[in-house]
Structure 1
Amino acid sequence: MKAALQIEITFEQILALIKSLPKKERIKLSKELEREIIDSKLSKLLETFKTDELSLETIDAEVEKVRQDIYDEQKR
């Protein structure tokens, strides 16, 4: 059986706790928060572009067109 403890903690208390951590732990926490923000933004971006209107053939055709444009540009 697990018991859950719920406490209210202010931002200032959290900040004080973070500042009391060793530098390595603060860096680790910072990277973890950054990763979480990036994941959240990426999820929102992917959701924005989610559509059933594009087929794999349409995507492939567009990729090939861009590749050809790049190739033609390099030949100049």
Structure 2
Amino acid sequence: MKTPLQIDVTFEQILALVKQLPQQQKIKLSKELEKEAIDSTLTRLLKTFKTDALDMQTITEEVERVRQEMYDKKKP
């Protein structure tokens, strides 16, 4: 059975380790961190906009209303 290793390190220690990495690994690490940030931002946005108040019928009615307005504006 493997036990996860947990150690206390400071940000400065991690930064010092990252600075020792080869350029290619720094780029890879940067991309992974960016992906994680994007995922958490997207998750937060989805939670913010999640609602049970909208159903497909409401959406369809709104789309048709907007389409009609656009059509009416094009009429001479």
TM-score, length basis structure 2: 0.76
1:6 match: secondary structure: coil
TM-score, length basis structure 1: 0.76
**RMSD, aligned α-carbons:** 2.3
- How is 1:19-58 mapped onto 2 (pairs within 5 angstroms)? 19-58=19-58
User: Post-superposition, which runs of at least 4 consecutive aligned residues in structure 1 deviate over 3 A?
Assistant: 60-69
Q: How many equivalent pairs are there?
A: 73
Q: Which has the larger radius of gyration?
A: 2
1: CA distance, partners of 2:30 / 2:4 = 26
Percent identity over the alignment?
65
Deviations 1:25-46 (Å, cap 9, x if unpaired)? 1011001101111110111111
